[in-house]
Amino acid sequence: MPTMLTDVFRGHPIHLPHSHQPDFTSLRELPDSYTWTLKDDLLFAAAPSPPATGENIPLIDLNHPDAANQIGCACRTWGAFQIANHGVPLELLQGIEFLTGSLFRLPVQRKLKAARSETGVSGYGVARISSFFNKQMWSEGFTIAGSPLNDFRKLWPKQLHLNYCDIVEEYEEQMQKLASKLMWLALNSLGVTEDDIKWASVDDSDLNWAQSALQLNHYPVCPQPDRAMGLAAHTDSTLLTILYQNNTAGLQVFRDDLGWITVPPIPGSLVVNVGDLFHILTNGLFKSVLHRARVNQTRSRLSVAFLWGPQSDTKISPVPKLVSPVGSPLYRSVTWTEYLRTKAVHFNKALSMIRNHKEEE
């Protein structure tokens, strides 16, 4: 029997087949349980793509004087963008990539010592959204929520885990600052200021109003990538997600008019996704981007997702300024906790569950 776990940050249960964690490296052919077809995921076969236009999410230089508007525009049209000159030291990005690589290279038995517990959030396990799909995903993950010390101790002997804890702590601190900066740049582009959102104080340098988790992902090389899925299509339940990907393509974002677009890895840059809570906060102006990860036959891929949102009990509702004077807010107010509970049941339909339908009645 697989163990059922709940991932607080995406809010869905996780299957963790303790006894038969696949040994990805030894497989020559895709097992049936990993072979995806259209009926496993309506979005899988990506409705016939319109002719490639070469369009992609923008790369935004945070030092550019017009950065706020560019970010606002990207949040409205794509729900995603890449950033350069973000101020996160390259050594830190290399550090977190090295840590992620060494974690997933550990023998399966060792990784399972830090398996997510029945009730816990953090630790090692397969893709969190697995329970919503009939087929398995070609990936493994490790979630860090709070201090990773306990889990890292189980994975690495002696002092090594302490260095790794330092890297995680430093990475999270830098990401917190960056995420808050990005949120305010995006909001300012809509004319929203601190007076409009009392819970997200710009002055609170400790960012006590926010919380986060880190999701480390590994997509091993795959014998038949066209029929496999690294991580199925989903939106994040965050305000913002900041994703670091190693130099291997795999992340794709969906646009109704363009289909699936592969986000090219740009060394040193970071990908930013608008999450469901930001969509709610902006009364639907910013798009929470549908995205997924594909795999390939020659290179394994690593990614580190920084999942960022408000404190659990903060009520998030559309900023009044962004609601038309004659209309009503598109969404009712929710806390992150409430939203995650909805997502755990309704998955990709969660947003529509909290939508106000008054106008149509």
Q: Name residue, tokens 């990506």.
A: 46
Applying CB under 5 A, the span of 11-19, 159-167, 229-237, 255-263 interacting with Ni ion comes to 229-237
One residue of 7, 172, 236, 276 binding ligand OGA per CB under 6 A:
236
Applying CB under 6 A, the span of 171-179, 193-201, 244-252, 274-282 interacting with ligand OGA comes to 244-252
DSSP 321: G
Residue 250 CB, shortest distance to ligand OGA, in Å, is: 6
Applying CB under 5 A, the span of 1-9, 40-48, 230-238, 296-304 interacting with Ni ion comes to 230-238
Is-catalytic flag, 76?
no
Specify the DSSP element, H or E, that contains 255. strand 251-255
Applying CB under 5 A, the span of 77-85, 234-242, 254-262, 279-287 interacting with Ni ion comes to 234-242
Residue 294 CB, shortest distance to ligand OGA, in Å, is: 9
217 contact choice in ligand OGA, Ni ion, none (CB below 5 to 8 Å, kind-dependent): ligand OGA
206: left (phi over 0), alpha (psi -120 to 50) or beta: alpha
- Strand positions, DSSP E, 58-144: 59-61, 80-84, 123-125, 140-144
Which residue has the closest beta carbon to Ni ion? 236
Spatial contact of 80 and 291, defined as CB atoms under 8 Å apart: yes
One residue of 60, 179, 231, 289 binding ligand OGA per CB under 6 A:
231
Which 235-254 positions form the footprint of Ni ion (CB under 5 A)? 236
245 binds ligand OGA (CB under 6 A): yes
Largest CA distance in the chain: 64
303 contact choice in Ni ion, ligand OGA, none (CB below 5 to 8 Å, kind-dependent): ligand OGA
Smallest CA-to-CA distance from 19 within 41, 2, 37 is with: 2
Give 234's strand partners: 291
The rounded distance, in Å, linking the Cα atoms of 86 and 96 is 16
Residue 216 CB, shortest distance to ligand OGA, in Å, is: 9
The rounded distance, in Å, linking the Cα atoms of 353 and 320 is 20
215 binds ligand OGA (CB under 6 A): yes
The rounded distance, in Å, linking the Cα atoms of 301 and 291 is 16
Which 280-299 positions form the footprint of ligand OGA (CB under 6 A)? 291, 293
Smallest CA-to-CA distance from 172 within 128, 207, 133, 204 is with: 207
Smallest CA-to-CA distance from 86 within 208, 200, 262, 242 is with: 242
Catalytic residue among 28, 294, 301, 355: 301
Applying CB under 6 A, the span of 117-125, 173-181, 245-253, 282-290 interacting with ligand OGA comes to 245-253
Give 310's strand partners: 210
Token pair for residue 271? 């990908």
Token pair for residue 130? 């697995």
Residue 291 CB, shortest distance to Ni ion, in Å, is: 6
Smallest CA-to-CA distance from 221 within 292, 304, 101, 138 is with: 138
Residue 305 CB, shortest distance to ligand OGA, in Å, is: 4
251 binds ligand OGA (CB under 6 A): yes
| Between 7 and 236, CB nearer to Ni ion | 236
Residue 102 CB, shortest distance to ligand OGA, in Å, is: 18
Residue 240, C-beta contacts closer than 8 angstroms, at least 6 positions apart: 179, 182, 183, 272, 273, 274, 275, 278, 308
| Between 41 and 236, CB nearer to Ni ion | 236
Interface with ligand OGA by CB under 6 A: which residues?
215, 217, 231, 236, 243, 245, 250-251, 291, 293, 303, 305
Report the catalytic residues: 301
